[in-house]
Amino acid sequence: MQATPVILIFDIGKTNKKLLLLDEDYQLVHEVATQFNEITDEDGFACEDLNKLTNWITAEFQNLLTNNAFEIKAVNFSGYGASFVYLDESGKPLLPLYNYLKPYPPALSKQFYKTYGGESMLAKQTASPVLGSLNAGLQLYRIKYEKPTIYNQIKYALHLPQYLSFILTKAFHTDLTSIGCHTHLWDFQNSCYHHWVNKEGIDSKLAPIKNSDSIAGTINDGIQVGVGLHDSSAALIPYLVSFTEPFVLLSTGTWCITLHPFNHTILSDYELHQDCLCYLSYKGLPVKASRLFAGYEHEQQVKKLAAHFNQPADYYKTVAFNAALLTPPKKMAKTTKKLTGEIMLQQSAFVARALSDFANYEAAYHRLIADIIDQQTKSTNLVLSGSMVENIFVDGGFSSNPVYMNLLAAAFPNNKVSAASVPQASAIGAALAIHQYWNTKPFPTNLIQVQ
C-alpha cells in the first residue's frame, strides 16, 4: 500500500500535548494526545517538565519515521506563548521552563518601569497591558538581574514554539507570532524590538527572526521543518486563509477573546486599561484583541444555578432560546446591587442578582447569558469600533449555545453573527503556514464550518 503524504504537527498546550498527522486535504489521519505531570522550579513553583516534553517529541518523531503507512513531508509546531527556553552554547537548557503565572518581584518591576518610561508608556508602545511574568521579556530581564552568572551563559533564549523546532533542527530562530504575544519585547509603532531590549543587551540573547511561514531546516533527506508558531496566532490562520473580507473572530472558552486582524490602530490608554492588547499575525501584522473572563464566570454561575434549582451541573445545555424569558422580575431592581470597577475586569451584573427572583432555571439562565452578553458587547466593541466589518465569527464553547448566539446576534444587529468551527485550529494553522513546502494541492476551501 502506498504511504499517505502528511504533515506532522506537534501542538503543545499547557495541559494537553498532541501529535497530529494531516493529509494534503487537511484531514486528520492520526493523533496522539498525552499529558505530563508538572515539576517545580528552584522556588517550588509549578512548571513544565521540559526534559519529558523534549524526549516525548524526539521519541514520537522517530517512531513515525518507521511507520510505513505515512510519508512525512514536513513538520511544524504550535505552542503556548510567554515562555522561554534558555540554551547554552551547546544547545543545552540552563534553566527550567518557568511558568508564566509565576509572580513577578514587585521591586524588579518597579525598577524596570521607572527606567523605561513608566507602565502606561511601555504598555502602549508594546501593545500589551502590564501582566508580570506574562510579559515574557520581563522573564529574561529578571534572569539578568537575579541570576547574572547563568544569564552570561545563555547563548539564546528561544520562545517555546521555536524551541520545539530546535529539538529536531538544532537551528536557533525567533518568529514574530511569539514575539508579538504580550511579551513587552516588540515596539508595535516602529515594527522592531523595543529600545529597552537593545539598551539591556537582551537582543543579543534573542535568536535571529525568521518568517513564521518559512522553513527552519531540512532533516532526514527532505523533511521540511517549520519555525513554529504561537498557538493563538496559528489558530487564526485558517480564517485568514478562508476569508478575504474583514472579519472579527470571537474565540470563546475560559477567556472570550475578540480578535480583529484588520484593525491596525494604536491601542489607547483606555483600551489597555480595559485589557486590550495586540498580537502579531503570521504575516507580521498587528491583530487587535480584547479579553473577557466570561467562560470562567459562566462555569461558576451554572454551578450555583444547578444547586439552587436542583438540576444537573450541565442542565444549561438543554436550555432552548426563548425571548419571552428575558423580562426581568419586577422586584429585581431592588435586589440587584450596584457594581463598580472597570468594565472588563469585573464580573457581569448577574453576580449580584438574587436567584430567588427567578421562577425557574431557564429564566435565570437567560438572564445570566444576557448579562454576560452585555459585558461581551462592550469588550468586542473596543476592537470593533471605527472599522467596517460585516462578519463576526464565534468559535469555541459558546458557539453551540443557542441562548448566547441569539443574544449576541441581537446585540450586533448590523453584523452577521455566525458560529464557526475549525477542528484542531492551531494545528491546522501551523500546517497552513508552510503549505507551499509540503502540499501539492491548492489551499482547501472547506476548512471552516459556518452556521
CATH of domain 4-229: 3.30.420.40
Helix axis angle for 361-384 and 402-411, nearest 10°, is 40
Q: pLDDT for 323-351, tens place per residue?
A: 999 976 544 444 444 443 444 446 899 99
Residues 6+ apart with CB under 8 A from 78: 9, 10, 11, 12, 161, 228, 229, 230, 231, 234, 235, 426, 427, 429, 430
Sequence-separated (6 or more) residues with CB below 8 Å from residue 215: 224, 225, 226, 227, 434, 437
Residue 345 CB contacts under 8 Å (≥ 6 apart), including other chains? 275
Per-position b or e across 15-41, b if 16+ CB within 10 A of its CB? eebbbbbbbbebeeebeeeeeeeeeeb
Question: pLDDT tens-digit profile of 2-45?
Answer: 999 999 999 999 889 999 999 999 999 999 999 999 999 999 99
Task: Tell me which residue has cell 446585540.
Answer: 411
pLDDT in tens, 418-437: 999 888 899 999 999 999 99
Q: Identify the pLDDT of residue 329.
A: 52
Amino acid at 246: P
**How far apart are the C-alpha atoms of 227 and 248, rounded to whole Å?**
27
CA distance linking residue 366 with residue 424, whole number of Å = 30
Residue 321, Cβ density class (10 Å: 0-12 exposed, 13-18 middle, ≥19 buried): middle
Cβ pair 414, 388 in contact under 8 A:
no
Report how far residue 450's alpha carbon sits from residue 446's, in angstroms, rounded to the nearest whole number. Answer: 10
pLDDT tens, 62-119?
999 999 999 999 999 999 999 999 999 999 999 999 999 999 999 999 999 999 999 9
**pLDDT > 90 fraction of the chain, expressed in percent and rounded:** 84
Residues 160, 229 contacting (CB under 8 angstroms)? no
Task: Compute the radius of gyration of the chain from its Cα atoms.
Answer: 23
Could you read off the pLDDT of 186-223 as tens digits, one per residue?
999 999 999 999 999 999 999 999 999 999 999 999 99
pLDDT tens, position by position, 111-139: 999 999 999 999 999 999 999 999 999 99
Residues 391-405 have a mean pLDDT of 94
Q: What count of residues does the chain have?
A: 451
In the chain, domain spans: 4-229
Please tell me the number of Cα atoms within 13 Å of 149 on its side-chain side: 0
Question: Which cell numbers in the block locate residue 265?
Answer: 490602530
